[in-house]
Amino acid sequence: MIKRMIILIIMGLTLSSCQLFTEAIKDNMYRVELARERKELSKKDGPGAIVVDKYKEDVERVIQDIKKRPINKKVEFGGTTLLIPENTRLNPKHGNIVDEKTGYGIAITFEITERCSSVYYRKKIKEGLYCKIYYNGINSELNIISKKIIEINGFTNTCK
């Protein structure tokens, strides 16, 4: 009888440790996915290109150049028409602005969402669907470009 109880306790401990192994595997898979995503965002045409040392100076030059351009290029994004700077395009993977001549991406990104939050500037596409703009407000050059895009496209930071 005692032998059977000891076997049951050991089997219980073994089965409960399987949960720990499963959680560890899921955690590692999540970390790998995050690393893959971070790498993807840091590619030349991604919004994080400026953080890569070999792209940094060129991206800063591109930002200076884009800042001088008029905001007059029409692009379709998620069911709405947006005006972005001349000689740029939207990266279909990340929704960020990419300079057509050099191929460098800058950290101004558009996203379609169903939620309205007064934290971000957004444009209502239809009932329950919004186009948000993300940008680094600390970087004064990106801030200037973003403010022009926000004004011309009619983005607001209210949910009314």
pLDDT 10s digits, 80-129: 899 999 999 999 889 999 999 999 999 999 999 888 877 788 888 888 88
Q: Are residues 58 and 109 in the same domain?
A: yes
Q: Give a yes or no: residue 59 inside a domain.
A: yes
Q: Give a yes or no: residue 22 inside a domain.
A: yes
Q: Give a yes or no: residue 160 inside a domain.
A: no
Residue with tokens 């959680």: 23
Q: Are residues 12 and 74 in the same domain?
A: no
CA atoms within 13 A on the CB side of 91: 25
Q: Are residues 75 and 97 in the same domain?
A: yes
**pLDDT for 15-52, tens place per residue?**
666 677 778 778 888 888 888 888 877 888 888 888 88
Q: How confident is the model at residue 137 (pLDDT cuts 50, 70, 90)?
A: confident
Looking at the 3D structure of the chain, how many domains does it have? Answer: 2
Q: Give a yes or no: residue 136 inside a domain.
A: yes
Q: Report whether 105 contacts 97 (CB < 8 A).
A: yes
Q: Are residues 142 and 82 in the same domain?
A: yes
Per-residue DSSP letter, 117: -
Domain boundaries, position 3 = 1-41
More confident residue, 105 or 12: 105
Nearest to residue 122, comparing CAs of 145, 153, 95? 153
Q: Are residues 138 and 66 in the same domain?
A: yes
What integer is the mean pLDDT of 46-70? Answer: 90
More confident residue, 103 or 9: 103
Q: Are residues 57 and 33 in the same domain?
A: no
Q: Are residues 81 and 143 in the same domain?
A: yes
What is the model's pLDDT at position 16?
67
Residue with tokens 């076997």: 7
Residue with tokens 């800042």: 67
What is the model's pLDDT at position 126?
85
Q: Give a yes or no: residue 9 inside a domain.
A: yes
- Beta-bridge partner residues of 80: 77
Cα–Cα distance, 39 to 116 (Å, whole number): 29
CB atoms within 10 A of CB 158: 8
Q: Give a yes or no: residue 159 inside a domain.
A: no
Q: Give pTM, 2 decimals.
A: 0.75
